[in-house]
Amino acid sequence: MSDPLPIPEPPRMFGSSWTPESWRGRPAAQEPNWPDAPALDAALTELRRQPPLVFAGEARQLTESLAAVAAGDAFLLQAGDCAESFDAFSADAIRDKLKVILQMAVVLTYGTGVPTVKVGRIAGQFAKPRSAATETRDGVELPSFRGDMVNDFAFDAEARQPDPKRLVQSYHQSAATLNLLRAFTKGGFADLGQVHQWNLEYVATSREGRRYEAVAQEIERALRFMDACGIDLDAETQLHQVDFFTAHEALVLEYEEVLTRRDSITGGWYDCSAHLLWAGERTRQPGGAHVEYLSGVENPVGVKLGPDAVPQDVLALCERLNPARRPGRLVLYSRMGADRVEEALPPLLRAVRMSGHPVVWACDPMHGNTFVHDNGYKTRRFEDVMREIRAFFAACDAVGVWPGGVHVELTGEDVTECTGGARGLSDTDLERAYKSRVDPRLNYEQALEMAMRISRHVRGRPSSARY
């Protein structure tokens, strides 16, 4: 169907040759080897016909919220599964994940005194970069599992073949997830009057649950106070609805390409698969396909930076991804590992600050602290995760940069994938409820504890820590 409105050409830089498919002319790390080209074409044709999952106007709204983070006036909470899966798909799991994020956000807003921008790693986070292209078990070598968007986790030759029908299934699961998230966040569930109801039963009696309850009671008292002062709380939409945005790693570029649509208002191109997209530590080459793709869409975008990132690369990324220096357009996620932050992060913070690029600095305290335990489980220690956050804050404070947020992997379930935290999960607990097929996530209690500790930390910083 043709669009009845004339669509102006998007603003282009002189000499720019970006199109939604121009990434195809660049080297793409981590690309699956799709074995059946006609099947891939059929899946992409089907996806091209599907409606957008998010609107350009919403992505612009997130850019605005992130501009407030870049200016030091808000905090970013980005959280969700390492990878969503087709099997573990249920309304309860989505609701519980949203509950933890809302609870963390309330704790952070209450503690930091600035708004929390809420972004889920959800409704599209189906593809994973892998450190090795193949996996060998008992002498049998097969392609690595790359997430449900690409292949199946089962260790057999057929299951591990990339299957393009999975692109279509990912789209539909994302649509259903997003539909539920929209209903929850706009339909009363996220009402601040419900703060008590978000506390999941199994933590209500734990230390973190009780601490959360105390915050919830304070909020309730504040609402009653405002009501008593004659403020019409019903009329304040902000108290009854929540802006919740979605994000995933833009890894399988064929999928992102076909969901890239021209905005009929501005004429710009938007990746309508999510509000925010990021490139990972393994796909952030300034001349590579992923950065090329992200450079041309108008959504806010992010890049993960590991301990080997050097100022020159980071400045090249800032120039490639945000030449117009729009505040809120670019998020840089530091994921150094607790032991490396102090040495690796300050040079990057200083270089970006000197360049004048208005980025959001956020901390991913998970991916630099993963290790495989002797018992075979891939895990993280809660204390390492917290240590990385503290070191991130200290580095930002020392350079005079606002520590803008955190990006974490968590679940609303009572899993035992990361050790430590209030219940002191030990190595031997890992086997009890280890459900992740990729990276270990914080469980509900650990996630709440993290939010409490961050807000105490922010509150306790000297008021001279200005940015």
**Binding of residue 380 to ligand PEP (CB under 6 A):** no
Nearer to Co ion, 221 or 373 (CB): 373
**Binding of residue 439 to Co ion (CB under 5 A):** yes
Cα→Cα distances 9→72, 206, 267, 381, Å: 34, 57, 6, 50
Give the shortest CB-265-to-ligand PEP separation in angstroms.
32
| Count of residues near ligand PEP by CB under 6 A | 10
**Binding of residue 384 to ligand PEP (CB under 6 A):** no
Give the chain as a 3 state SS string. Answer: CCCCCCCCCCCCCCCCCCCCCHHHHCCCCCCCCCCCHHHHHHHHHHHHCCCCCCCHHHHHHHHHHHHHHHCCCCEEEEEECCCCCCCCCCHHHHHHHHHHHHHHHHHHHHHHCCCEEEEEECCCCCCCCCCCCEEEECCEEEECCCCCCCCCCCCCCCCCCCCCHHHHHHHHHHHHHHHHHHHHHHCCCCCHHHCCCCCCHHHHCCHHHHHHHHHHHHHHHHHHHHHHCCCCHHHCHHHHCCCEEEEEECCCHHHHHHCEEECCCCCCEEECCCCEEEECCCCCCCCCHHHHHHHHCCCCEEEEECCCCCHHHHHHHHHHHCCCCCCCCEEEEECCCCCCHHHHHHHHHHHHHHHCCCCEEEECCCCCCCEECCCCCEECEHHHHHHHHHHHHHHHHHHCCCEEEEEEEECCCCCCCCEECCCCECHHHCCCCCCCCCCCCECHHHHHHHHHHHHHHHHHCCCCCCC
Stretch that binds ligand PEP, among 236-244, 261-269, 278-286, 309-317 (CB under 6 A): 278-286
Give the shortest CB-367-to-ligand PEP separation in angstroms.
4
**Binding of residue 281 to ligand PEP (CB under 6 A):** yes
Question: What x-and-dash track marks residues 118-157 binding ligand PEP by CB under 6 A?
Answer: -----------x----------------------------
Question: What x-and-dash track marks residues 242-271 binding ligand PEP by CB under 6 A?
Answer: -------x----------------------
Residue 27, token pair as written in the block:
């080297």
Question: From Co ion, ligand PEP, none, which one binds at residue 129 (CB under 5 to 8 Å depending on kind)?
Answer: ligand PEP
Nearer to ligand PEP, 208 or 249 (CB): 249
Nearest residue by C-beta to ligand PEP?
A: 280
Nearer to Co ion, 269 or 392 (CB): 392
**Binding of residue 216 to ligand PEP (CB under 6 A):** no
Give the shortest CB-83-to-ligand PEP separation in angstroms.
7
**Binding of residue 282 to ligand PEP (CB under 6 A):** yes
Nearer to ligand PEP, 416 or 436 (CB): 436
Stretch that binds Co ion, among 76-84, 201-209, 246-254, 337-345 (CB under 5 A): 76-84
Question: From ligand PEP, Co ion, none, which one binds at residue 304 (CB under 5 to 8 Å depending on kind)?
Answer: ligand PEP
| Strand bridging mode 75-80 / 116-121 | parallel
The residue from 143, 162, 280, 420 that contacts ligand PEP (CB under 6 A) is: 280
Nearer to ligand PEP, 106 or 122 (CB): 122
The residue from 28, 62, 77, 82 that contacts Co ion (CB under 5 A) is: 82
**Binding of residue 317 to Co ion (CB under 5 A):** no
Nearer to ligand PEP, 192 or 366 (CB): 366
User: For residue 120, which of 325, 305, 274, 311 has the smallest C-alpha distance?
Assistant: 274
Nearer to ligand PEP, 96 or 439 (CB): 439
The binding site for ligand PEP (CB under 6 A) comprises 82, 129, 249, 280-282, 304, 335, 367, 439
The binding site for Co ion (CB under 5 A) comprises 82, 439
